[in-house]
Amino acid sequence: MALFNRVNGKILKEKLRNSQEHRTTISFYKYHHLADPKIFRNEMYERLDQLGVLGRIYVAYEGINAQISVPTQNLQAFQDELYSIPFLNGVRLNLAVEDDGKSFFKLKILVRKKIVADGLNDATFDVTNCGTHVNAQQFNALAENPNTVIVDMRNHYESEVGHFKNAICPDVDTFREELQVVEDLLNDQKDKNLLMYCTGGIRCEKASAWFKHIGFKNVFQLEGGIIKYAQEVKAQNLENKFVGKNFVFDERLGERISDDIISECHQCGNPCDTHTNCKNDGCHLLFIQCEACAQKYNNCCSEACAEIIALPEETQRELRKGINKGRQVFKKGRAKNLRQPSPGISEKV
C-alpha cells in the first residue's frame, strides 16, 4: 500500500466538507526514544490509515506529536491499536473542546528532527525532569497566589484570540524564540511560582524541564493544556480563567472556551476572533477576518489578492511560480496594508 496520500488536497477538502461522517478530533504526544523513526512512521501510517484516521503527526528520535481526526465509530478500535504500542499504552488522549468533525482532510505523518522545534540541545539537560503537573483546580489556586507568574508558552497569534487572565503573552512567532524571551523577562524572578500553559501540554513539557535546568525553583505546567483545562472546569463547575478562543493547528483554527471576543478583525478593526488563511494560494496569510470583510474581499487579505484569485487558475500558478514567501502570519506592524481606512478618513502614510 502507498504510505502517503496521493489525492489532490482541494479534492479532499471538498470531500470532507460534504461528508456526513461523525469524526472526533484528538491530540496526544509522548517523549520517548525511537531507535528508527522512519520505520516507526511507516508502521504507524499503516495502522492508522486502515482505521480511516486523518491528521498530522510528527515523529522524531525523541517521540511523537499527533493531532488527528478519527471516525467516531472507530474510536475504540483506534485506542486499542494505539495502546498496543508499548510506549503509548495509556497515553493521555486530549479530545477537542469544540469539534465539528472537519479538522483534517488527509493523513500526513512526517519524520522530523524534533517533535516540537525548540532550538535546545537536549544533551545538555535532563528533558525528563519536567515541572509539576497541575489540574484545573490546582491551576486556579496557583493563579490566585500573588507569588505566581503565569506564562503563555504559545505564539502571539494564538494568545491574541484567547489566553488566561493576567498571563504574560510574549510577542513571538515561534516556540524557539519564546524560550529565550521568557528567560530574559523573568531572569530576576526565579524564586516565584512559574506557571506555564500551552494548547495540549507538549510545549510546556520541554519548557518546564529547561527552566528548571537554568535555575527556576518552582515550575508548574498545566496538565493537558488548555484543552483539558476547559473540559475539567466544565465537568467540575470551576471558575473558567481562560478568556476567548483556543487556537488550534487544523482546519478549525480555533475552539471557543468562553464567549469573550478579545481580538479584532485585522482589516476593519471590529471585534472578531475568526482566523482564516488568505484564499490567494500565492499569499496564504494567516489573519483574523470578520464576515463582512470576508465578503468584501472574497476571503482574501487585500484587494490585490482578491483581484488575483479572480484570474484563471493557470495564470495564478504562473504568478506564484518559484516564489517562497516563507512564514505568512499576520503581525501588527508587519502587515499594515491589511487595515483598511474608514470611509471618509484619509489614512496617514
Q: Are strands 23-31 and 63-71 parallel, antiparallel or unpaired?
A: antiparallel
Cell of 109: 505523518
Query: What is the pLDDT averaged over residues 24-29?
Result: 97
117-169 pLDDT per residue, tens:
999 999 999 988 999 999 999 999 999 999 999 999 999 999 999 999 999 99
Q: What is the pLDDT of residue 101?
A: 87
Structural domains of the chain ordered from first start: 9-111 (3.30.70.100), 122-236 (3.40.250.10), 275-338 (no CATH)
- Please, which pLDDT band fits residue 2 given cuts at 50, 70 and 90? low
181-190 pLDDT per residue, tens:
999 999 999 9
Q: Are strands 218-222 and 132-134 parallel, antiparallel or unpaired?
A: parallel
Q: What is the mean pLDDT of the chain?
A: 91
Q: Which stretches within 122-274 are classed as H helix?
A: 136-144, 156-159, 175-185, 202-213, 225-236
d(CA 5, CA 208) in angstroms, rounded, equals 36
Q: What is the pLDDT of residue 326?
A: 53
d(CA 190, CA 36) in angstroms, rounded, equals 38
Position of cell 482532510?
Answer: 105
- Please, which pLDDT band fits residue 20 given cuts at 50, 70 and 90? confident
281-296 pLDDT per residue, tens:
888 899 999 999 999 9
Q: What is the pLDDT of residue 339?
A: 64
Q: What is the pLDDT of residue 342?
A: 41
Helix 75-83 vs helix 37-49: crossing angle, to nearest 10: 160
- Please, which pLDDT band fits residue 322 given cuts at 50, 70 and 90? confident
Candidate from 14-18, 136-140, 183-187, 246-250 with smallest mean pLDDT = 14-18
| Closest to 208 (Cα-Cα) out of 230, 231, 225 | 225
Positions marked catalytic: 198
d(CA 202, CA 105) in angstroms, rounded, equals 23
